[in-house]
Structure 1
Amino acid sequence: MKKRIISAIIMILIFVPLLFIGGIPFSILMTLLSVGAMHELITIREKKKEFPLLTKIISYLFVIFASILTYNQSIYSYKMSYQLISFIVLIYLLPTLLKDDKKYNYDINDALYLVGSLVFINISFNLVLVLRNYSLNYLIYLLLITVITDTFALITGMYIGKNKLAKDISPNKTVEGFVGGVLMGTFVATTFYYTVINPGISLAILVLTTLFLAVVGQLGDLVFSSIKRTFGVKDFSNLIPGHGGILDRFDSLIFVILAFILVMGLI
């Protein structure tokens, strides 16, 4: 627990100042996190089969390139180029010609895994940057949902958790922790939004929206836990002592942001 707390303090001291500064410093941070997240997805897959070095290098370069393209884009103009996606697919399919190579045995499943991982990482992490460009307060609102929900889900589960939420996916998560985290995350984030962002919004709509996002965040956590279980790992990496890897910290936030963008499009 001590190691976990120290790591959390260090993360806060790095992330929060850059979050408020924004601009190029925050963009560089998100680019580094994107590359790290892509590396984690590649690494867990390589526990079963190694990728050709060229495909890994291309993956990291694509992540960096996509982050550069995202800089200064607004939430309404953000899009991934069809030309870029087509190029990505083509680049990853060509190495399937190495399928007879004894070392790599690279096939269509590997190509699809890399394409899916790359598109997912670029959309997820670049949306954090795009949302920061759009509104710092909106991003703080989503961070509050994620952090408060995760924190109180852990605390509630530790003290009163008895009923397993999804024991085959994440044995330590409980129904009580899930409910406690969602309720507290909803309360804190709703209070922030109503007092800081838009006091004129319908409180009922705000509460329901925040509740929905908090639930989605917890479900996102379970999705990533399922991915880790599929590959037989406890964490995506050991980069952050006591916390695991980048994706272990961003799993809930990724789903919360994706759901928030969906809600914005519907309202």
Structure 2
Amino acid sequence: MLELRHRGGGPGPGPGVSPPREGDAAGGDHETESTSDKETDIDDRYGDLDSRADSDVPEIAPSADRTPEILQKALSGLSSRWKNWWIRGILTLTMISLFFLTIYMGSFMLMLLVLGIQVKCFHEIITIGYRVYHSYELPWFRTLSWYFLLCVNYFFYGETVADYFATYVQREEQLQFLIRYHRFISFALYLAGFCMFVLSLVKKHYRLQFYMFAWTHVTLLITVTQSHLVIQNLFEGMIWFLVPISSVICNDITAYLFGFFFGRTPLIKLSPKKTWEGFIGGFFSTVVFGFIAAYLLSQYQYFVCPVEYRSDVNSFVTECEPTDLFQLHSYSLPPFLQAVLRWETVSLYPFQIHSIALSTFASLIGPFGGFFASGFKRAFKIKDFANTIPGHGGIMDRFDCQYLMATFVHVYITSFIRGPNPSKVLQQLLVLQPEQQLNIYRTLKMHLLEKGLLQPALKA
């Protein structure tokens, strides 16, 4: 049936009878035509992937349970529902504790954490592709996938180094060369991978190889690009990293708890266990949590100051004079709240107001990242992306909502928050040639004199 569908679907003239070909009537080259037909038959047999229904997708064997044996024994008397609840709870508290420890260790460790999560998420998605199509034994698929991951990371992290480590780069001649020609080097590395992919194309696998080429690039778009945005948010101040991520975590936990204890009404078919009760309960809990977390974190320079690299101490520092965004302001309450609370004004950090927008996105739109991941897993008949974390699945299962959040926060900062960054401008000026620096100095001096901000020098 598949061959008939690929060739037009029409019935043949009968068994053992070949339909007349144009080459026969015109006295054409029969051997060439026959070879062409054989190649077409091969492509039809091996290239029917796009005509498969979802039910035809190969099913992946479920991953082995990696729950520690000590937990298995301790919870052996419980039902599977409560056993899973306790496993998820214990592992959640463990991960949150490790997250707090990483925060205490500083921004550089958080960047390494983001990089590690990115690599693991990429590995889980690529592994699914390899396991689904393993029988075809695509040549160079895994090698090229990891090569492209290195190329894209080299490009993005090189851009970050050029933006935030300009003073350090200025002292190192080798780094100056790499930064000056960074985009050309990145493009050359990608072209090398592209050429290797073309050279790896083999008959019978063309279509699947291009499927996997697209698979790899979409995976890179989801993982590397978003993790780069997470690090960009972190450089704006650790609070822009912690509040959004914590809001997603809070929403995930509270929605699970409300759904576990009160859930009755299914929310979406892609995730049958998700309920409206969990969705609504998670929304209100997340908004309250984000508001309180913003208040607590806004009081400390460690969280609110932009992360900057200081070449004199060779480390990242978070010291600054907090902006108005992180200083208390008095706000007049609406009349109906004044009547209820009997307060006319309330003191808030302006960031707390922004936290409401961040928390609202985390609880209303963020879950759609999870629904998208659920649809992906259903398409390939898998329960989880991996079995890295007992009771939770893979790393990607826990961070599927974070990627949407990272993009939103970056767009939010650039649209409503970020203004010119004096330290970044100064870093860029220090990289310029002395003549260029003098020209900028003269131009700036003339501008300040015209505005009356500088007094003209007195002539002797």
- Assess same fold via TM > 0.5: yes
Is 1:2 the counterpart of 2:94? The answer is no
Q: Could you tell me which residue of structure 1 aligns to residue 118 of structure 2?
A: 34
| Deviation larger for 120-129 or 237-246 | 120-129
- Out of 340, 347, 350, the residue aligned to residue 201 of structure 1 is 350
How far did residue 128 of structure 1 move? Answer: 2.4
Q: Could you tell me which residue of structure 2 aligns to residue 182 of structure 1?
A: 283
Is 1:11 the counterpart of 2:160? The answer is no
Structure 1: gaps (5+ residues): 76-80
Structure ID, larger Rg: 2
Three-state SS of the structure 2 residue aligned to 1:233 is coil
Q: 1:73 to 1:260 in 2, by over 3 A?
A: farther
Letter in 2 for 1:146: V
- Out of 143, 167, 175, the residue aligned to residue 54 of structure 1 is 143
Three-state SS of the structure 2 residue aligned to 1:243 is coil
Q: Distance in 1 between matches of 2:233 and 2:162?
A: 9
Structure richer in helix, relative to its length: 1
Q: Distance in 1 between matches of 2:144 and 2:109?
A: 28
Tell me, yes or no, if the aligned pair for 1:145 and 1:185 is still in contact at 8 Å.
Answer: yes
Q: Distance in 2 between matches of 1:124 and 1:7?
A: 25
- TM-score, structure 2 as length reference: 0.51
Tell me, yes or no, if the aligned pair for 1:40 and 1:245 is still in contact at 8 Å.
Answer: yes
Q: Could you tell me which residue of structure 1 aligns to residue 311 of structure 2?
A: none
Residues 213-260 of structure 1, C-alpha deviations (whole Å, 9 max, x = no match): 321211111111112112221111101111111111111122112112
Letter in 2 for 1:109: Y
Q: 1:156 to 1:132 in 2, by over 3 A?
A: same
Structure 2: gaps (5+ residues): 1-84, 165-181, 299-325, 327-347, 417-460
Tell me, yes or no, if the aligned pair for 2:148 and 2:193 is still in contact at 8 Å.
Answer: no
- Out of 246, 249, 256, the residue aligned to residue 144 of structure 1 is 246
Is 1:69 the counterpart of 2:158? The answer is yes
Q: 1:188 to 1:74 in 2, by over 3 A?
A: farther
Q: Could you tell me which residue of structure 2 aligns to residue 109 of structure 1?
A: 211
Q: Could you tell me which residue of structure 1 aligns to residue 408 of structure 2?
A: 259
Residues 133-182 of structure 1, C-alpha deviations (whole Å, 9 max, x = no match): 32112222112211111111101111221111112x11110111111111
Three-state SS of the structure 1 residue aligned to 2:393 is coil
Q: Distance in 2 between matches of 1:72 and 1:190?
A: 33
How far did residue 195 of structure 1 move? Answer: 5.0
Letter in 2 for 1:262: V
Three-state SS of the structure 1 residue aligned to 2:202 is coil
Q: Distance in 2 between matches of 1:246 and 1:208?
A: 26
Q: Distance in 2 between matches of 1:145 and 1:20?
A: 19
Identity of aligned residues (%): 23
- Out of 102, 109, 112, the residue aligned to residue 25 of structure 1 is 109
Three-state SS of the structure 2 residue aligned to 1:244 is coil
Q: Distance in 1 between matches of 2:162 and 2:292?
A: 29
How far did residue 19 of structure 1 move? Answer: 2.6
Number of residue pairs the alignment of both structures matches: 262
Q: Distance in 2 between matches of 1:154 and 1:60?
A: 33
Q: 1:128 to 1:206 in 2, by over 3 A?
A: closer
Q: Distance in 1 between matches of 2:150 and 2:407?
A: 24
Tell me, yes or no, if the aligned pair for 1:141 and 1:189 is still in contact at 8 Å.
Answer: yes
Q: Distance in 1 between matches of 2:155 and 2:254?
A: 35
Is 1:220 the counterpart of 2:369? The answer is yes
Tell me, yes or no, if the aligned pair for 2:248 and 2:402 is still in contact at 8 Å.
Answer: yes
Q: Could you tell me which residue of structure 2 aligns to residue 235 of structure 1?
A: 384
Q: Could you tell me which residue of structure 1 aligns to residue 292 of structure 2?
A: 191
